A and B are shown apart, each in its own frame.
Chain A
Amino acid sequence: ETGVTQSPTHLIKTRGQQVTLRCSSQSGHNTVSWYQQALGQGPQFIFQYYREEENGRGNFPPRFSGLQFPNYSSELNVNALELDDSALYLCASSTSQGKAYEQYFGPGTRLTVT
């Protein structure tokens, strides 16, 4: 069983640029959630994708967008980067079955905006 993988591991961007982060879900999982974890804080929910559609969104502006592909992998895109976007971005996959679910996390992508 392959776990959740994310790429790249680290990334440095300049304010105003755009970035794309990638996530491959765990085998058998069809739902992907993205989180932002700033230093010293818990993860903050960005959005979730299920069957290639956004299934829910947290309190993040529209410049944070995403995609899910037929193989359930996912991308997180951030436009017009700001210094406060510097954080660890976590991807988690899960199944949609049942009323409650467990999320399995990838190692994260560390984004630094200068």
Chain B
Amino acid sequence: AQSVSQHNHHVILSEAASLELGCNYSYGGTVNLFWYVQYPGQHLQLLLKYFSGDPLVKGIKGFEAEFIKSKFSFNLRKPSVQWSDTAEYFCAVNPDSNYQLIWGAGTKLIIKP
């Protein structure tokens, strides 16, 4: 069955630290990839997406992600986090542009001021 794994359920960092959140999926075909973020008390928002082309994609708020097809990975990165990045981050995969998104369990990120 298709699945998405996010390696860390909880991450705690200090401000200005670098961030990398892992995401791996199990599907051998064409995929569209997404990272969503949910800030405290708010609804899910799209952070960035990959459809095709340059495997390094840039999103909002200084986030970027790299698609490595050979590793079935789509890791999220940010060089220097801020307290306002405290949120839950979800990786989602859309296999073969079909109708559904398959989601990871999420990573709760806490940034200490």
Contact = CB atoms under 8 A, between A and B. Distances in A.
B98 A45 contact: no
Contacts of A104: 46
Interface string A53-95: 0011010000000000000000000000000000000101000
Interface stretch (B13-21, B66-74, B101-109): B101-109
B100 A56 contact: yes
Given A100-B32, A100-B94, A105-B44, A42 B104 contact: yes
B95 to A, nearest CB: 11
A103 B105 contact: no
- Determine the main DSSP class of A at the interface with B: loop
B105 A42 contact: yes
Interface residues of B, number: 25
A44 B106 CA distance: 12
Given A56-B98, A99-B97, A100-B32, A90 B103 contact: no
A33 interface: yes
Interface of B: 4, 6, 32, 34, 36, 42-46, 49, 51, 90, 92, 94, 97-106
20 contacts: A35-B103, A42-B4, A42-B90, A42-B92, A42-B105, A42-B106, A43-B44, A43-B90, A45-B100, A48-B100, A56-B100, A58-B100, A90-B43, A99-B97, A100-B51, A100-B97, A104-B46, A105-B36, A107-B43, A108-B43
